[in-house]
Amino acid sequence: MKTPIVAALLTGLAVAGVATAMPAAPVSAPEYSNRIIFIRHAEKGFTAVQPDSGESWGPPHGDEPPKDGPRPPRRGGWPFPGGPGGGGRRGPPNGLSVKGKERAQYLRTLFGEDSDYDFGLIFATPRDPENKADERTYATVAPLAEDLGLEIEIGCADSPSCVSQKVSEFVETSDADILISWKHRDLNVIATTLGAPNAKIHYPDERNDVIWIMQGGRIVEKRSMHMPGLDDGRVDEGDPDLVVEDETTSQGLFGFLYSAWSSLIF
């Protein structure tokens, strides 16, 4: 017999899996030809307050916790800025690491006015508009958006259907490209909601450099940003993370459960 804890966990996995790992059937293939570019937020930083000393680490101190000290937990544990005794929020802040900030600056070149891209709409997903500048999906594209004179659309946090609606409205009057900077676990859900039948596998966990390109109702290309200094050594050809799925690819039961579990942890 399953214990209440195990039963609750399995129920949570099932619910989370339905919401994130197994999105609803895609809508009809869109009629517009706009390119939609999906990216994960840039590298995030680690900033934690040690309970015995009150000292912190993280940007600008570095991208990783010190190797000779305890690491901050993913959830609970130590008080973080804004946590118990400091305002109510637990867990590390959402800002970018030093490397993440460098990647955000690189996007100004990769996606800027002199590139092959012509963005007219940019999405990010801060839940707190008052602190959006410190949220990693927003901070990733903020320098680029400023260069392009665009205001980042932040009203669709955690709502793929909202993104779909905003995209539908935008393409009625523009053929410009669309950039979506989001949490990696939700990118395939958004792509599927937008009509892509070959976006079943989630964005790779350990990478921040992968670009998905959707056009004509499907993912047509995956590539690395090839940012000098951060993505050196990346070769697109033969990279399993850059394989464009066919429409019959399935992530399987293990992938379903893993995605559901990750949605509760990350």
Could you give the 3-state DSSP secondary structure of residue 69? coil
* Distance of alpha carbon 105 from alpha carbon 109, whole angstroms: 8
The answer on 192 and 84 residing in a single domain is no
Q: pLDDT tens, 111-152?
A: 999 999 999 999 999 988 888 988 999 999 999 999 999 999
When the pLDDT of each residue in the chain is averaged and rounded to a whole number, the result is 76
- pLDDT confidence of residue 90: 40
pLDDT range class, residue 28, cuts 50, 70, 90: low
The answer on 248 and 220 residing in a single domain is yes
The answer on 127 and 251 residing in a single domain is yes
Does residue 99 form part of some domain? no
CATH of the domain at 220: 3.40.50
- pLDDT confidence of residue 81: 40
The answer on 117 and 79 residing in a single domain is no
Q: pLDDT tens, 149-186?
A: 999 999 998 799 999 999 999 999 999 999 999 999 99
Does residue 16 form part of some domain? no
- How deeply is 93 buried, as exposed, middle or buried, from its count of CB atoms within 10 A (0-12, 13-18, 19+)? buried
Residue 228 identity (one-letter amino acid): P
Count of domains forming the chain: 2
* Residue closest to 92 by CA, chosen among 132, 142, 141, 134: 134
Which residue range is the domain that position 66 belongs to?
48-93
Does residue 249 form part of some domain? yes
Full-prediction pTM beyond 0.75? Answer: no
Length of the chain: 266
Does residue 240 form part of some domain? yes
Residue 18, pLDDT > 80, answer no
Residue 251, pLDDT > 90, answer no
Q: What are phi and psi of 260, to 5 degrees?
A: -65, -45
The answer on 86 and 125 residing in a single domain is no
The answer on 40 and 52 residing in a single domain is no
The answer on 132 and 88 residing in a single domain is no
The answer on 39 and 57 residing in a single domain is no
Residue 264 corresponds to which tokens in the numbers above?
Answer: 């509760």
